Amino acid sequence: MLTKDSKIYVAGHRGLVGSAIWNNLKGRGYDNLVGRTHAELDLTDQLAVRRFFDEERPDAVVLAAAFVGGIMANSLYRADFMMMNMKIQCNVISEAYAHGVKKLLFLGSTCIYPKNAPQPMTEDCLLTSELEYTNEEYAIAKIAGLKMCESYNLQYGTNYIAVMPTNLYGPNDNFHLENSHVMPAMMRKVYLAKLIHEQDWEAIRVDMAKRPVEGVNGDSEKKQILDVLAKYGIEENKVTLWGTGTPLREFLWSEDMADASVHCLLNVDFKDIIGIEKYSSVHYGASADGTVDRNHSAGRGGAIPSLGEIRNCHINVGTGKELTIRELSELVVKTVGFTGEVVFDSTKPDGTMRKLISVDKLHRLGWEHKIEIDEGVKKLFEWYKESLNK
């Protein structure tokens, strides 16, 4: 049981996911939080991670750090997406166990599910057929992470929980055009196309100074700026988006995701997920003094003979609602106040055609979302405009 004094390490506390979880914990009165920037701690460096755990000795860990990006980034950096994420996960989870961390929350992604999984996707769809090729490496890394948590629980009696959020958006989102996800990329493209049409070069330069594109920034020549933006489908009063616009996507406001994650960290145990009230004693057999032997397990190999196979212990986190990419673009256009043209380039990949998740397990565990998509898009655009002045 974690208390308000428990030391909680949030890995990736500056990112979209980690910052939202950090703020949620703070809002609940958990002030003994530990975070490190990438410059302060490289999570792919095993020795550095070990030294960090030696020094800080956290009671709980939230593993929200990851190497992430959209379709373009996934296609360009396939080896990096697998290797970087595997290193981060292996280092943090193994050191958490070695240092006796009481509770660990692992953040994954619903891209773990097969490209042709039945909709909505339940947790039991995992590993039933092939993955979507465009994000295969990232998905495999995240599957390994959730299986690591599951396997540590089964072998060592740990209490590691894995949550798989759907597509996220919100404060601290990534708006860099080279590696951002669909919603922030779309929003920035529409906003810049509007500014070009209005010839608002002061605002364009502020935007480019904040988030340069391929080295082109706010001090660059107008032609340089227009040329590099055109490369990403941004022209005067016209935006070109990848794909056909027909894929369906589910989106979750990041602060809702954080609330769900913290709910699971504080209130959900592994035994709750697999429906066993006395998991540790069933698994190991408690000794006379009540302690558990963490080195010897009758359940080695991922199964407890008396209980059958235990798998798919992760938790989907989402809204259970979806819209097409075209419908999302219409919502963004309306929010930004764009009067120009949005074109879909069908020669570019769509990615998975549908990715709706079932949130029945999450609802049974006591949590439901609050922010609907139309309100969330407005809140994201407000945050983006405010970020340009910081």
The set of catalytic residues is: 138
Q: What's the CA angle centered on 196, arms 195 and 200, to 5 degrees?
A: 55
Q: Is 18 exposed, middle or buried (0-12, 13-18, 19+ CB in 10 A)?
A: buried
Secondary structure in 3-state letters for the chain: CCCCCCCEEEECCCCHHHHHHHHHHHHCCCCCEECCCCCCCCCCCHHHHHHHHHHHCCCEEEECCCCCCCHHHHHHCHHHHHHHHHHHHHHHHHHHHHCCCCEEEEECCHHHCCCCCCCCECHHHCCCCCCCHHHHHHHHHHHHHHHHHHHHHHHHCCCEEEEEECEEECCCCCCCCCCCCHHHHHHHHHHHHHHHHHCCHHHHHHHHHHCCECCECCCCCHHHHHHHHHHCCEECCEEEEECCCCCEECEEEHHHHHHHHHHHHHHCCHHHHHCCCCHHHHHHCCCCCCCCCCCCCCCCCCEECCCEECCCCCEEECCCCCEEHHHHHHHHHHHHCCCCEEEEECCCCCCCCECCECCHHHHHCCCCCCCCHHHHHHHHHHHHHHHCCC
Residue 38 phi/psi, 5-degree rounding, is -60, -35
For residue 317, the cross-strand partners are 165
Sign of the dihedral defined by the CA atoms of residues 285, 150, 295, 159, in that order: negative
CA 379, CA 218: separation in Å to the nearest integer? 25
CA 332, CA 241: separation in Å to the nearest integer? 13
CA proximity to 354, closest of 246, 250, 248, 242: 248
